[in-house]
Amino acid sequence: MARSAGWAAALAMMVAFVAQPISVSAQSTLAIFAIVVMAAIWRFASGALARTAFLATGSLVVLRYVYWRASSTLPSIDEPLSFVFGIILFAAELYCVGFLAINLVINADPLVRKAATVQSDESLPSVDVFVPSYNEDHSILAATLSAAVSLDYPRDKLTVWLLDDGGTNQKCNDSDRAKAALALQRRIALKAMCERLGVSYLTRERNEHAKAGNLNAGLNASKGEIVVVFDADHVPFRSFLRETIGYFAEDPRLFLVQTPHVFLNPDPIERNLQTFDRMPSENEMFYSITQRGLDKWNGSFFCGSAALLRRAALLEAGGFSGVTITEDCETAFELHAKGWTSLYVDKPLIAGLQPETFESFIGQRSRWCQGMFQIMLLKNPALKRGLAPIQRLAYLSSMMFWMFPLPRLIFMFAPLLHIFFDVRIFSSSIDETVAYTASYMVVNVMFQSYLFGRVRWPWMSELYEYVQGMYLLGAIVSVVMSPRKPTFNVTAKGLSLDRDHLSALALPFVAAFLLLASGVATAAYRYAFEAGTTNLMLVVGLWSATNLLVAGVALGVVAERGQADCSSRLDIDRTGTLSFADRAIDVAIHNVSASGCLIRTSETEALDQAAAAGSVGSLTVVALDGRPSPAPIAVRLVQPNGENDANGRALSFDQLQTEQYLGLAELMYGDGDAMTRFLASRRDRMTFLQATLQFILWGFEGPVRALLYWQRGRAAPPIAVVETRVEPANVAAPALASAGPIDEIEQDVMPSSAPSAPIIHPAFPACSREPMYDVWMQSMLALAAEELRKASDQDRAAGAALRVA
């Protein structure tokens, strides 16, 4: 009772302070004092109490601003147009303040987890690893599956499953015979690959309920106590299970252990602004801060991959939820409501791929946005029985985030109303604006830097929200109009951009830039030359100039740079033996990708002699912890280039056999700390001044580069190297229609002893511009076509009857 009374008294005092009428000069003094106190706390104090004092002090400045906006700046109701637009702008600001308040609660004290309990092999639970797939390339799947079967875990307790939704009976019986042939050929090839890797292959009758349905099919076919989910392009490091599995023994009600999604390649914004090696990725704020904040309140949720789930919990909930297109968050939502607990481990244990093109990036974010809105509309967290109040707030924070396109676009274009049409969207003197608005903005910058400075540069949130908001607004409207309409779309990955070009989605950004530029020019002219223009024109002019800067950087984002290297690299520190003909040379390996690696050796003369005798050889990786070395990797010596110094050479992986992917998994994913080191290398704080100068540079460079790309006429679509479509030119049109059931065809086509599959890779480090495919798969396509033709010739009538049946 006494504690509640204390909080009530503190709240009353705060409200009284916030609503206290004071002069503009007093407000300025108060704001400066608060900012100095915050700076002193930041500089000289640490710990939970200091963190709370910092956030509380800044919150008073924010609340003073909100009170001033509500009581003194709204347009008069006697001016209906100004009043309506003023209220819209104020509502957008209230959303931001409300989301900030929730963020401060959630992230006030992010949880740091202790290491998991170490268990003996005998006491470890059985594990099923699910790798759901739809249309990913053979080589991507080979890398992920090889790393999955190489996980540090007892072999008799680990089963890896490829859940292939690209080879379902529905797809193999598609009315389009070419599509059906390709689905069957994919199914045959992937089954053979799984057999050689020791992976269980599973497909299903129909593609129902998208990824959730695919995972549930795997759940029904398997028996492991723990289910691990990896997206097809999320490759686990060897230590993944050892770092995570022990938490399940500590809490019998634990249903989820989620780990961060970390990526080897830049997203389109990072690639086009060239920041990947020096700036934290956009998702790091969520995975390094917000998920830990949610974890404190038992609110961290399933993110679709890089996670472990307890089978008993999934069965209690009826499997993976599939009402919305974000089955991951929805599944966690249902299980939290049933009293199960979740846990977040802030250690990067997988390496994934991000969308390469701006178009696929927007498609991915549209699905996330629509899915979170579906959950909010169909399963409102505020009304969900079983959730604790703080869990409701946690889920609402994650869903409210996706409303950002509305306020972001309002802030971008609201000042144009006053510049062009003299609509007074707020009423204020220049002195009041400085005293209240400037201090509010400074405190906001301090909040962001204090909480997220290590993982988010200043200005980057504004940029990401703007470039997404231009297209996500339509996605929001569509799901609000019809919450059950959105469908699951697979995000394209592994694309290669063959040249510099403007994105197909660039037009709205060009139009917005020109509109804002005309607004800034108009504001400058009116303020300088038009009689009767007030200082409000100066304020909105500066505001619009800031928006123009963001729009200019966005043009640099949609001006897509050509990508010379299609394989993402990871810095490592490994050793191995390079063999050419009869020579064996000890080498150090410092850089690796899916297509090659960079080695260094003191035996350069021997290396050159071996290369002269024949550049094709093999690389045997020395395994860590005394493990046996995996199969050697076929390599080819690349001619020296700018990356090679006197002791270094680049090697490309030469037509890898499927089994050799086990060697690649050891080389690239054997050291679980490699990704941690990479993230740490780009997490130096960027000061606001440094970030602003960089942003201004981008703001000038972006429009120039976009104009150059347009002038060159390079608005060409990207070339996809991951999903090559091999037309079955020799397959007669009625071949599938007259063949028997799918399983029977598979038996006939599948050889009893399939040869090992070489997978062609581009030369390292450059990426070939021609679509490439697995040589073995091509031979299988020809074999399948021949067998299908035979089946057609021998039993056309019987096949037709079976098809009708």
- Burial code of 740-774, b = ≥16 C-beta within 10 A, e = fewer? bebeebbeebbeeebeebbbbbbbbbbbeeeebbb
- Burial code of 136-145, b = ≥16 C-beta within 10 A, e = fewer? bbbbbbbbbb
pLDDT class of 584 with cuts at 50, 70, 90: confident
What pLDDT shows up at residue 625? Answer: 77
pLDDT, tens digit (0-9, with 9 covering 90-100), for 109-147 = 899 999 988 889 999 999 999 999 998 988 899 999 999
Q: Which of 414-418, 531-535, 711-715, 751-755 has the lowest mean pLDDT?
A: 751-755
578 strand-pairing partners? 585, 619
Q: Is 237 exposed, middle or buried (0-12, 13-18, 19+ CB in 10 A)?
A: buried
What pLDDT shows up at residue 7? Answer: 55
| Closest alpha carbon to 322 in 280, 261, 371, 365 | 371
More confident residue, 482 or 316: 316
pLDDT class of 657 with cuts at 50, 70, 90: confident
Can you read off the two tokens belonging to residue 19?
């609503």
> Among this protein's residues, is 328 annotated catalytic?
yes
Can you read off the two tokens belonging to residue 590?
């410092």
Mean pLDDT of 383-391: 94
pLDDT, tens digit (0-9, with 9 covering 90-100), for 590-636 = 888 888 888 888 887 777 666 665 568 889 999 887 787 888 999 88
Query: DSSP secondary-structure letter at 338?
Result: T
Is residue 3 over pLDDT 80? no
What separation in angstroms does the CA of 620 have from each of 428, 526, 584? 72, 72, 10
pTM greater than 0.75 (yes/no): yes
- How far is C-alpha 727 from the geometric centre of its chain's CA atoms? 32
Q: Which of 128, 137, 164, 165 is catalytic?
A: 165
84 strand-pairing partners? none
Q: Judge contact between 77 and 83, C-beta under 8 A.
A: yes
Sign for the CA dihedral angle at 519, 520, 523, 525 comes to negative
What pLDDT shows up at residue 749? Answer: 52
What pLDDT shows up at residue 173? Answer: 94
What pLDDT shows up at residue 329? Answer: 95
> Among this protein's residues, is 165 annotated catalytic?
yes
Other Cβ atoms within 10 Å of 112 Cβ, number: 9
pLDDT class of 571 with cuts at 50, 70, 90: confident
- Backbone φ and ψ for 572, nearest 5 degrees, come out as -135, 175
pLDDT class of 757 with cuts at 50, 70, 90: very low
Q: Which of 164, 295, 328, 498 is catalytic?
A: 328
More confident residue, 141 or 489: 141
Q: Is residue 585 classed as helix, strand or coil in its secondary structure?
A: strand
Mean pLDDT of 451-456: 94
Can you read off the two tokens belonging to residue 515?
């509109």
What separation in angstroms does the CA of 534 have from each of 428, 529, 547? 10, 12, 21
pLDDT, tens digit (0-9, with 9 covering 90-100), for 663-704 = 999 999 999 899 999 999 999 889 999 999 999 999 999 999
Q: Judge contact between 301 and 329, C-beta under 8 A.
A: yes
Is residue 463 over pLDDT 50? yes
Q: Is residue 567 classed as helix, strand or coil in its secondary structure?
A: coil
| Closest alpha carbon to 96 in 548, 443, 376 | 443
Q: Is residue 670 classed as helix, strand or coil in its secondary structure?
A: coil
Q: Is residue 79 classed as helix, strand or coil in its secondary structure?
A: coil
Can you read off the two tokens belonging to residue 489?
């779309």
Mean pLDDT of 567-586: 84
Query: DSSP secondary-structure letter at 574?
Result: E
Mean pLDDT of 581-596: 85
Mean pLDDT of 201-209: 94
Mean pLDDT of 182-192: 94
Q: Judge contact between 634 and 654, C-beta under 8 A.
A: yes
Longest dimension (CA), the chain: 96
Is residue 720 over pLDDT 50? no
616 strand-pairing partners? 636
Is residue 646 over pLDDT 70? no
More confident residue, 735 or 164: 164
Contacts of 80 (CB under 8 A, 6+ apart): none
Residue 264 identity (one-letter amino acid): L
pLDDT class of 6 with cuts at 50, 70, 90: low
Other Cβ atoms within 10 Å of 350 Cβ, number: 25
Mean pLDDT of 511-533: 95
Sign for the CA dihedral angle at 300, 304, 306, 307 comes to positive
Q: Is residue 463 classed as helix, strand or coil in its secondary structure?
A: helix
Can you read off the two tokens belonging to residue 671?
């050291």
Beta strand residue intervals within 660-790, DSSP E: 719-720
What pLDDT shows up at residue 207? Answer: 92
Mean of pLDDT over the chain: 85
DSSP assignments along 276-326, one per residue: TTTS--TTHHIIIIIHHHHHHTT-----SSSEEEEHHHHHHTTSS--SSS-
What pLDDT shows up at residue 602? Answer: 82
pLDDT class of 232 with cuts at 50, 70, 90: very high
What pLDDT shows up at residue 767? Answer: 42
What pLDDT shows up at residue 733? Answer: 33
- Backbone φ and ψ for 463, nearest 5 degrees, come out as -65, -50
Is residue 459 over pLDDT 50? yes
| Closest alpha carbon to 367 in 325, 409, 412, 316 | 325
Q: Using CA atoms, how far apart are residues 457 and 469, in angstroms rounded to an integer? A: 19
pLDDT, tens digit (0-9, with 9 covering 90-100), for 361-382 = 999 999 999 999 999 999 999 9
